[in-house]
Amino acid sequence: MRRLPALSRRRFKDRPLLPREVDAELAPAMWKRAVFSNTKLPQDAVDRAAYVVCVREQLHGALNRRDVFAAPSNRWADPRARLLDGPQWEAMCADLLAGLSLAEDAGEHLAQLARGLDAAWRQMADRLEEAGTDAQVEIVVPEGGGRARLSADKLGAAGERESLTWLKATTQATLPRIDLPDLLFEVHSWTGFLDAFGHVSERRTRMEGLLVSLVTLLVAGSCNIGLTPVIDPENKALTRSRLSHVDRNYLRADTITGANAALITAQSRIESRIEPAQMWGGGLLASVDGLRFVVPIKSINTRPSPKYYGYKRGVTWLNAVNDQVAGIGAMVVGGTPRDSL
């Protein structure tokens, strides 16, 4: 890499690039023809441009494989060089292990990982033995050196067991077919989550049919269908004026947060009583993901991102769901940060 600038500046008419001036081992099989066999150059001459691109590509691959490190750098530096040791590690050891839920002994933790890896290898070996000679699996070593890789033919679908097919059919048959509004009313009868939608003035409402209007707005918003399909001029709770009034004064960020909290509290009570819910998890793990949307108007959260929005601007809606399949939070962030940040 240090020699590349001098090679790039050298004019071909002065002196052609000869094989002894380059490192032939850096050119893999796919690059040898472009670097050493350019018919437009004199015999034994090396294609300078091809060699420069080849070396840069090999460096980039080595950085990705962590065979080469760059310093100073946050992304490409050697992470092992930043590991704590001695008194620094002793001072922070307890807090770090507690934060990572690694309370057991390090040797036992590594032994558990080793047992899992051994079981995976044995399972793969058993499956290869069951497949017999039809399974084409081999270890491929690239010409001229490099990392070996495992090559395997694509496997066909394993198919479902009869017991799984029966379970799916039985479960599907037990699920009732009801409308979405009826489902929300039933959940409200268990949890009272609709009571969290109070008026913006915090006064008690005497509006007749308020729950019907709230459920209608929740269904219309969640299904992204707008008000037109759900308006019924003959029903006082479903007129356009009533729905617009409830939407402005009752559906707010704080009331939606309160309703969500009521659902999570009810879900936690189910976790402690019903065994299948406990098998899903303890509610302590979460899946966080962002959905990116193009926003056609100017907004404080819109950002440009050619990768996601082209020449337009957009936002990211970040949602978190725990392992009990309950939403635990959502927020709108600018369109450019990574979801993990």
Residue 222's beta-bridge partner residues? none
Position 13 pLDDT exceeds 70: no
Least confident of 14-18, 28-32, 69-73, 222-226: 14-18
| pLDDT tens column, 71-120 | 888 888 888 888 888 898 889 888 888 887 787 788 888 999 999 999 99
Q: Where are the domains of the chain?
A: 4-64, 88-132, 180-255, 284-334
Specify which of 55-59, 97-101, 137-141, 325-329 reaches the highest per-range mean pLDDT. 55-59
The predicted model scores a pTM of 0.47
Share of the chain above pLDDT 70, in %: 93
Residue 145: which pLDDT band, with cuts at 50, 70 and 90? low
Question: How many residues are listed for the chain in this entry?
Answer: 341
Least confident of 32-36, 227-231, 279-283: 279-283
271 neighbors 283 (Cβ within 8 angstroms): yes
Residue 243: which pLDDT band, with cuts at 50, 70 and 90? very high
Residue 150's beta-bridge partner residues? 139
Residue 291's beta-bridge partner residues? 317
Position 250 pLDDT exceeds 70: yes
Question: Residue 184: its pLDDT value, please?
Answer: 95
Share of the chain above pLDDT 90, in %: 25
| pLDDT tens column, 304-314 | 888 888 888 88
Question: Residue 5: its pLDDT value, please?
Answer: 85
In whole angstroms, what is the distance from residue 17 CA to residue 173 CA?
75
Question: Residue 262: its pLDDT value, please?
Answer: 92
Question: Residue 146: its pLDDT value, please?
Answer: 67
Higher pLDDT, 24 or 179: 179
| pLDDT tens column, 269-279 | 776 666 776 77
194 neighbors 259 (Cβ within 8 angstroms): yes
Question: Residue 155: its pLDDT value, please?
Answer: 66
Mean pLDDT of the chain: 84
151 neighbors 140 (Cβ within 8 angstroms): yes
